Amino acid sequence: MTGPSKVWPHLFWIYLLVGPTGVLLQQIQLEPLDATVHRGSDVQFKATVVGLWEVMTWHVRGLLVLTILPNTNISSSPGRFSATFCSSGDTGCVDFIIHNVTQKESGPVICTVQGEQGSKTAQLNIQESGTVTIVGGNITAVQDQHMTFQCITAAWFPEPTITWATNGRLVDSSLYNTTSTEAGDAYNSTSVLQFQALSDTVVECLATVQTLTEPRSSLIHLVVVPKPPDWTVLKAVVVSFGGIALLVLLIAGITFCYKRRKEKKPNYQQEMSRRVKTQGQVNTVYVSDNHKSAALGALNSSGFCQAKGTSVVEMPHVKNDQAEGCSNRSSPSVDLSGFRKHRHATIV
C-alpha cells in the first residue's frame, strides 16, 4: 500500500523527469560499468533510477537472476544474488550484490527498469588464481653448478604475472622465461629460471593477477655444497711425474746392469787367471762376497757345492778331474771346465 507520504516524493520525481518541457531525462545510472574482481569475492553494482518504476530486473550473463518490486522488502533476498535499497524507503537507489563470484558470472550485468526508463549494462570480469609449484622441491647442488628451476602455475585467469625471488629479493627478469597455454577457461604457465649456484638460496616463484592483494608463491631451499677438489689435474701431474720417474729408474737400471756386466767380464777373467796361478799352493780360496754370489748363482745350477753357513767356497781340486770336495753331497762334482762352460753360457 502506498500512503500519501510516499506519493508526494514520486510526484516530485515525475516533475523532475519530465521537466517543464515534458521530455524524459536520463533515467538510470549503473556503477561501476566495469568491475574486475577475484573469484570468491562479492561484487556490488549500484543502480540509480530517476522517477517511479514498477519492476527492476537484473540479468547476469544473459540469465535473469533477480526481480525487484519497489514495495517489497528486498533487503533479505536469499541466495547468491541480492539487492537492497541504498537507504530504506528510497526506491531510487538499489545495490545489487553477487556473492562468491565464479567464472560463470563473468560477462555483462544488465539492470532493466520496466517502464520507459530502459536498461543499463555493466561488465563483470572475474580473475582467478590457481596453483603455483616449483618442480622438484628442495634441491642440493655443487658450487658453481648451473641451475634450472621450473615453476608451473595452473588454472589462472587471466595469465598470471610470474616473478622469481631469491632470498627475498626479486630476480632480474633476464634470468627467466615464462610461457602460457590456454587450458579451458584458464591458463597454465611455465616459467624457467636459470642461475649459477653460489651459496644456499631460498628460491621463490610468485604468481599474481591484478585482483590478488598478495601473490601466490611456491618456495624451495637450494643447498650448495663445496665443489670437490679437481683431482684430474693432480692425477695428470702424478701420472706424468710417475712416468718420468719410472723412465729415469729404468734407464738407470739398464745402465747399471750394463756397466756391471762390462765390469764383471774382465774381473772374472782376472780372478780366474789368478786362481789358476795360485792353484798349486792353495786348494781353498776365499772368494769375496761380490764374486761369490755371482759365482754361486751361476754355479749352483751346475751342481756347485757350498759349505753351509760360511762364506768359504770349496774350490774343486783342479789337479784331479774327479773332485772330492763335494763328497758330502750327491751332486756331481765340478771341475774348472765347468767354470769355463758356465762362463760361456753367461756371455751368451
Ligand X SMILES: *[C@@H]1O[C@H](CO)[C@@H](O)[C@H](O)[C@H]1NC(C)=O
- Name the grid cell of 250: 729404468
Contact 127, 43 (CB under 8 A): no
Scan residues 80-109 and list those touching ligand X (CB under 6 A).
100, 102
Region 32-71 residues binding ligand X, contact defined as CB under 6 A: 40
Minimum distance from residue 133 beta carbon to ligand X (Å)? 8
Closest CA to 111 of 32, 12, 18: 32
Which CB, 200 or 263, lies closer to ligand X?
Answer: 200
Instruction: Give the nearer residue to ligand X in terms of CB position, either 128 or 314.
Output: 128
Q: Is 76 in the site for ligand X (CB under 6 A)?
A: yes
Do residues 188 and 131 make contact, with C-beta atoms less than 8 angstroms apart? no
Nearer to ligand X, 76 or 330 (CB): 76
Question: What is the C-alpha to C-alpha distance for residues 267 and 10, in angstroms, rounded to an integer?
Answer: 148
Size of the site for ligand X (CB under 6 A): 18
Which C-beta is closer to ligand X: that of 72 or that of 278?
72
Determine, following the binding rule CB under 6 A, whether residue 301 of this chain makes contact with ligand X: no
Peptide bond preceding 158 in cis form (omega within 30 of 0): yes
Q: How far is the CB of 161 from ligand X (least distance, A)?
A: 17
Shortest distance in whole angstroms from residue 125 CB to ligand X: 17
Distance, in Å, from the CA atom of 217 to the CA atom of 220, rounded to the nearest integer, reads 10
| Residues in 160-199 at the binding interface with ligand X, rule: CB under 6 A | 175-177, 181, 183, 188, 192, 194
Distance CA 96, CA 86 (A): 10
Of 42 and 321, the one with the shorter C-beta distance to ligand X is: 42
**In the complex, minimum distance from the CB of residue 76 to ligand X, in angstroms, rounded to a whole number:** 4
Assign 188 to helix, strand or coil: strand
Strand order across the 161-166 sheet: 139-142, 216-225, 201-208, 161-166, 169-170
**In whole angstroms, how close is the CB of 131 to ligand X at the nearest point?**
7
Instruction: Report the largest interatomic distance among the alpha carbons of the chain, rounded to a whole angstrom.
Output: 172
Other C-beta atoms lying within 10 Å of the C-beta of residue 239: 10
Q: Which is nearer to ligand X, 27 or 189 (CB)?
A: 189
Contacts with ligand X by CB under 6 A lie at 40, 73, 75-76, 100, 102, 137-138, 154, 175-177, 181, 183, 188, 192, 194, 221
